Amino acid sequence: MKRIGYYNGEMGEVSTLRIPMQDRAMFFGDGVYDFVFACDGKFFALQDHIDRFFRSMSMLEIDPPCTKEELAKKLQMCLDASESEGMASVYWQTSRGNCTRNHIFPPEGTPSTLLITVSPLKSPDWNRPLKLVTTEDTRFAHCNIKTLNLIPNVMAAEKAEKNGCQECVFVKDGLVTECAHSALVILKDGCLIAPPLDERILPSITRMHVFAMAEKLGIPSQVRKMTLQEVLDADEVMVLSTSKAITRADTMDGKPVGMKDDNTFMKLREAYFAWIEADTGYRM
């Protein structure tokens, strides 16, 4: 497939596009983003991601670059141009605009920007458990907004890489929040448990889907504060994200975790894969 890029009306191979030097994304990370995957040219749960993208813009008082309907058409246009087969990742972001560097908002009437990229997405080995490492959560109190400000996440992801792990878990005052680029939930005694959504946690689309599936399957659930020790003692530790879907972990900081409730885990994962297949026609 082709790696397609789009910026403010221009579309082509990613390597051929150029972004103006005064885009506020570069100066301040003054923007928001979202990401979705597609299977054989069809998006999965696109509207959920677009809705979250517009919520993020609203919380930062960024004027949308287009309507939700127009955005969906632009994303499909880029996906079609990529001639993708199998799984593809589609990323998009907006910044507050192009203007002379200044901390205050740009002059009234400055249009926000829109950037889109389409790239191949390698399907993970769904049966291979993840290895996790923890780190202190030092992020600011806007984690519920999907902003471009991701330096703590970058550092956490690098810590995972250096420790031979696939994800890093943020811990604040002994409480688990989320991972560097995923949500974290556990199963204990047949119950799905996740930390409350507040300013420290991004409202994960996959997490929302998993809770909806748990309700349909009759699996009880709780949303409450979750300690690191509870995660270590859980029957299953699950990492949820658009790219990872529902993946279990078997170690954290080198200690064995989870892998004790195969039946409930498989119920959730199979229901999620069935949803993807029904929505896209693609078998995971």
Q: Tell me the catalytic residues.
A: 146
Cα 150 from Cα 229, distance rounded (Å): 27
* Amino acid, res. 190: G
Cα 79 from Cα 72, distance rounded (Å): 11
Look at the block and give the residue holding tokens 């507040």.
198
Q: How many CB atoms lie within 10 A of CB 222?
A: 12
Cα 179 from Cα 153, distance rounded (Å): 8
Cα 284 from Cα 160, distance rounded (Å): 26
Q: Where are the beta strands (DSSP E) in the chain?
A: 4-7, 10-13, 31-39, 42-43, 87-95, 115-120, 130-136, 167-172, 175-179, 183-188, 191-194, 221-223, 236-241, 245-252, 255-256
Contacts of residues 215-219 at CB distance under 8 Å and 24 or more positions apart, as own/partner, are 216/271, 217/267, 217/268, 217/271, 219/190, 219/191, 219/192, 219/264, 219/267, 219/268
Q: How many CB atoms lie within 10 A of CB 133?
A: 21
